[in-house]
């Protein structure tokens, strides 16, 4: 019997009316990541959000099936890619940003505080000159900045906690909230990576939950639960406030912080993190090839518990 959590899944969430985007969610089973297409129904202009460049950590080989799948949906629905967006430098998957920029011609973007994240990891890798966000991204979004997806209004919320520079994209009644919330039955995301902060995660989530109750929230990852064996990634603000097991209405800030920190203390590093961040902080590019024509990554030893 097929396990839904090990199978790619695509779902379309149609526009609900004026200034509301069409959203496609594309589940990537190897990392439990959700990739998104956010499109203006009127102009067919679209943004691609948090798309995966597939990486096999056992054999250190890359493949393009996830970005191919996303671009097939773009083609089949007559969409035009206007933006290639990421919410943060991901720790558990490699971003497809540079490849999508090359394949679509659309500019790529991320949050402006990626500069500060890059400084932390340049030290951890002892690669002081490796990362230059202005080189590898066409735009670095600042908190509160506005932009367009077709004719739809979109804006940036700074949502630190998982990383110090994570951003949320709000487009009409859709918000792409990355590694802040999980589904209501799973709670919230971890905040223990370098630059993460549990108190900031709480504050970021409270800002997200202050959006209108019918806002559709699209999360970054889903791993199912012991009672739910199919991936899910969409719930409204009202549903989270009523049912989210970590932050529903009535939850005390200090209780959330204690619960989140206790849980995080039991978690191992993701198995792709030390490869992924070295690439993602280059916008999804590998380091330059060496004199033998091959690419090499540098992995810190004994830097993490």
Task: Report domain extents, the chain.
Answer: 4-268
* pLDDT at residue 2 in the model: 61
The per-residue pLDDT for range 179-215, each reduced to its tens digit, is 999 999 999 999 999 999 999 999 999 999 999 999 9
The per-residue pLDDT for range 258-297, each reduced to its tens digit, is 999 999 999 999 999 999 999 999 999 999 999 999 999 9
CATH of domain 4-268: 3.60.15.10
Count of alpha carbons within 13 angstroms of residue 169, beta-carbon side? 33
3-state secondary structure of 235: strand
Between residues 41 and 304, the one the model is more confident about: 41
The Cα-based distances of 86 to 64, 74, 98, 132, 289 in angstroms read: 17, 17, 11, 16, 25
* pLDDT at residue 207 in the model: 98
Cβ partners under 8 Å of residue 226, min gap 6: none
pLDDT bracket for residue 3 (50, 70, 90)? confident
Does this model's pTM top 0.95? My answer is yes
In sequence order, what are the beta bridge partners of 12? 24
Evaluate if residue 1 carries a pLDDT over 60: no
């Amino acid at each position: 019997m097929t396990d839904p959590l090990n199978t790619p899944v695509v779902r379309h969430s149609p526009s609900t009316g004026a200034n509301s985007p069409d959203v496609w969610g594309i589940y990537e089973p190897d990392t439990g990541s959700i990739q998104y297409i956010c499109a203006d129904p009127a102009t067919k202009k679209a943004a691609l959000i948090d798309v995966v460049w597939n990486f096999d950590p056992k054999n250190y080989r890359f493949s393009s099936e996830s970005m191919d799948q996303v671009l097939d949906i773009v083609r089949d629905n007559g969409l035009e890619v206007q933006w290639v967006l990421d919410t943060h430098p991901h720790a558990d998957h490699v971003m497809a940003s540079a490849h999508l920029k090359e394949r679509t011609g659309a500019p790529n973007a991320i949050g402006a505080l990626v500069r500060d994240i890059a400084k932390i990891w340049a030290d951890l890798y002892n690669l002081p000159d490796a990362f230059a966000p202005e080189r590898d991204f066409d735009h670095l979004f600042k908190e509160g900045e506005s932009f367009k997806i077709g004719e739809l209004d979109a804006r940036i919320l700074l949502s630190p906690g998982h990383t110090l520079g994570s951003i949320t994209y709000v487009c009409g009644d859709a918000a792409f909230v990355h590694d802040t919330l999980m589904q209501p039955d799973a709670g919230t995301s971890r905040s223990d990576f370098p630059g993460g902060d549990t108190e900031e995660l709480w504050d970021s989530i409270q800002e997200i939950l202050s959006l209108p109750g019918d806002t559709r929230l699209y999360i970054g990852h889903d791993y199912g639960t012991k009672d739910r064996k199919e991936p899910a990634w969409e719930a409204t603000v009202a549903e989270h406030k009523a049912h989210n097991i970590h932050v529903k209405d009535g939850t005390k800030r200090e209780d959330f912080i204690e619960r989140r920190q206790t849980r995080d203390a039991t978690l191992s590093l993701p198995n792709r993190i030390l490869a992924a961040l070295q690439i993602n902080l280059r916008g999804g590019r590998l380091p330059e090839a060496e004199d033998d024509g091959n690419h090499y990554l540098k992995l810190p030893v004994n830097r993490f518990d």
